[in-house]
Amino acid sequence: MTDEPKRPEPPLTGDERTQLNGFLDFLRATVVWKCSGLTDEQARRPLVPSELTTVAGLLGHLTLVEQYWFNVVLDGQEDVWKEALETDPDAEFRVAMQTPVEQLIAAYEAECERSRKIVARMGLDDEVAFRGDRKVNVRFVVTHMIEETGRHAGHLDLLRELTDGLTGE
């Protein structure tokens, strides 16, 4: 991890879409920053009581939630994780523990790019069917992903500090 992260600053002005996407991209870049420069062993090292709350595990989880909320929920694509998660609710964490950290980062970045493209072609008020007869709009998904990514970026900040002492917003 470098001392100076390469992250897009969220815009101080702009319409709702610009600001929501700006904050989500800032958090996504924070995740990549916190995970970069670690060895596979460091990324898999359990540093808190939950053995799955590792850098690798969180990267796997964040990649999954990007894929689920944008590809499956908003774009109607097949849920490639459904069967694995029915067998093991923590499958994405376990698979990530066996995957090289650089591959996890690349997969996360690719998934984020797919998510950006899906959102770009939709309006924030666009609604899609969600879990039966419910509806969800794009604004909810983007806002939820800001919350989800921000929460796990905080976990990654702690794990990174415990790994090698590096800190930073």
Residue 2 confidence (pLDDT) above 60 = no
Instruction: Of 127, 16, 143, give the one whose Cα is nearest residue 74.
Output: 127
Cβ burial of 118 (10 Å; 0-12, 13-18, 19+) is middle
| Mean confidence (pLDDT) of the chain | 94
Residue 150 near residue 31 (C-beta atoms within 8 A): no
DSSP class of residue 69 equals I
Residue 1 confidence (pLDDT) above 50 = no
Q: Which residues are CB-contacts of 162 (< 8 A; sequence separation ≥ 6)?
A: 47
pLDDT at site 4: 64
Average pLDDT for 79-107: 97
pLDDT in tens, 51-87: 999 999 999 999 999 999 999 999 999 999 999 999 9
pLDDT in tens, 7-42: 888 888 899 999 999 999 999 999 999 999 999 999
Q: Which domains does the chain have, with CATH numbers?
A: 16-164 (1.20.120.450)
As a whole number of angstroms, the distance between CA 122 and CA 119 comes to: 5
